[in-house]
Amino acid sequence: MISRRRFIQATAAAVLVPVQWMQAETKVLFSNKFKVPPLVQSTRSGADVYFDLNVQSGFSKFSEKFKTPTWGINQPFLGVTLRANKGDRVHIKVKNSLDQTTTLHWHGVKLPAKADGGPHQPIAPNAEWNTEFEVIQPAATLWYHSHQLHATGEQVYQGLAGMFIIDDDASQQLGLPSDYGVDDFPVIIQERDFNADGSFRYLTGIEDETMGKQGGLVLVNGVVNPVLKASKSLIRLRLLNGSNATTYHLSFDDQREFHIIASDGGLLEEPIKAAGFTFATGERLEILVDVSDGRMPVLQHRAMSMDMSDMEMSIWESLLMNIMSLVTDTNEENSVVDVFQIDARQVTPEKVFIPSQLVTHDNTKRKISAKRTFTLEMLTGVESLLGFSDPFTINGQAMDMERINHEVKANTSEIWTIENTTMMAHPFHIHNVQFKILAKHGEIHGHELGYKDTVLVQPGEKVQVLLNFPEFTDADTPYMYHCHILEHEDGGMMGQFVVV
Ligand code: C2O
Ligand code: CU
Ligand code: CU
């Protein structure tokens, strides 16, 4: 509520005075320190890298009042950050120290199906899973999380998620901020509700199950509304929407522009100037923020009742939207939620350098071997209440571990059309690929121009994507495609494909 009032003042000021005067007065709003997830300990011999992961339980403090039972990987809440180079052979030992079965899935990684960590690679309590794969893709901000059948939502909510960063020579030569925790920061955005005893409150009713679990408190790397003390003029944020369900519409409170440099699958061809963007669960996005002005911008989420899917807004559009959201400010849906603040008062101003070109994507035209359609459906009303049929389906079928829905040929290209017949947006995710969006309603812009493994499909929308499948084959072990709203995935909006 405080943030709302401050926001109204800022916007009112923005209407009256030139933009650069808007933040004449700044103050630190948040008191929690920004936490950088530690990098995983690894041992290396040549191109072989070894990670030792322990899926564990523990306790975390999100407020002074109580301790919350949480899960994490090598720490009490969330995972340590994995880091490897293109060309590395990664060996991961995952020990499950929980008292229930789990999995760890490497989201966005191109890899053999057996190494994917999906529902077909469960790790029983006290068991160990040893997996390995070669990193064949370019530098990117990927992530990892539990993918336990029917329990992904709950396990991720409990804390089973972390970042997986890939580096390569091409990205290192660009001079981008890349000093982890110094000018290059992981930003895992999630939200949680709490019970009176401090434990996380997960599903409490039909709305949580239908819309997916949203929460009242926003966490960044497991900390409520932290302040990031910047020491450099240009900082790189590797944002991950690790929420169970919420789609964020992010921008800074002072409407400052920044550069989007990467999408799910890695760097864009060139930086894109923007003042805001839409960010669905499962997606990643990297931005460069110039904080040489020494101010204290707050990254905010503007929840919207109307659909703002194409939100690479210009500064004026974003301002206009603020004003509009004031005018229509009658319900929760148009509220402003603070995510975190950057405190740049200690920064010694420097002229920042932003490369005009980043990397070249391989856009060669390929023969299309198959076209497939995926229709997302959700039952509402009587049928689902009575439990007559599966509430969430793709092409009329709910996830079945025994059924392979599609067979794909390795090293071929396909076009998949994802069709949303429901009243809400669904972020559709496909394992083992980084695809390009070919067509959607409206223009493809911003991070949607880059490589994607998750794409938000709006109600009534059809999105066409182009997939190039890597060389790995395995007729018996499927990969998943699914809605990344975890309660939809757990509820059946998931299917399987094998690559042969
Ligand atoms: Cu991020 Cu199949 O998952
Ligand atoms: Cu995935
Ligand atoms: Cu969904």
**Cα 242 to averaged position of ligand 1 atoms, centre (Å):** 11
pLDDT at position 26: 62
The long-range contacts involving 98-101, CB below 8 angstroms and separated by at least 24 positions, are 98/55, 98/56, 98/57, 98/71, 98/125, 99/125, 100/125, 100/151, 101/125, 101/148
> If you take atom 1 of ligand 1, which residue's CA is the nearest one?
107
Q: Which ligand neighbours the alpha carbon of 418 most closely?
A: 3
Distance of CA 451 to the CA centre of its chain: 14
In whole angstroms, give the CA distance from residue 26 to residue 227: 13
pLDDT at position 10: 42
For residue 239, the number of C-alpha atoms closer than 13 Å in the C-beta half-sphere is: 29
pLDDT at position 20: 41
Is the C-beta atom of 105 inside 6 A of ligand 1? yes
Closest to 104 measured CA to CA, from 52, 22, 161: 161
Is the C-beta atom of 482 inside 6 A of ligand 1? yes
> If you take atom 3 of ligand 1, which residue's CA is the nearest one?
107
Is the C-beta atom of 284 inside 6 A of ligand 1? no
- What's the angle, vertex CA 447, arms to CA 260 and CA 319, rounded to 5? 65
pLDDT tens for each residue of 24-49: 456 788 899 999 999 999 999 999 99
**Cα 484 to averaged position of ligand 3 atoms, centre (Å):** 6
pLDDT tens for each residue of 150-186: 999 999 999 999 999 999 999 999 999 999 999 999 9
pLDDT at position 7: 42
**Cα 213 to averaged position of ligand 3 atoms, centre (Å):** 11
> What parts of the chain have a pLDDT lower than 50?
1-24, 306-317, 325-332
Nearest-atom index, ligand 1, CA of 454: 1
Query: Is 157 strand, coil or helix?
Result: helix
Nearest-atom index, ligand 1, CA of 105: 3
pTM exceeds 0.95 for this model: no
pLDDT at position 383: 60
In whole angstroms, give the CA distance from residue 63 to residue 43: 36
Whether the CA torsion 87, 93, 98, 99 is positive or negative: it is positive
Nearest-atom index, ligand 1, CA of 107: 1
**Cα 426 to averaged position of ligand 3 atoms, centre (Å):** 4
pLDDT tens for each residue of 215-237: 999 999 999 999 999 999 999 99
Share of the chain above pLDDT 90, in %: 83
pLDDT tens for each residue of 412-471: 999 999 999 999 999 999 999 999 999 999 999 999 999 999 999 999 999 999 999 999
Is the C-beta atom of 107 inside 6 A of ligand 1? yes
**Cα 328 to averaged position of ligand 1 atoms, centre (Å):** 36
Is the C-beta atom of 145 inside 6 A of ligand 1? yes
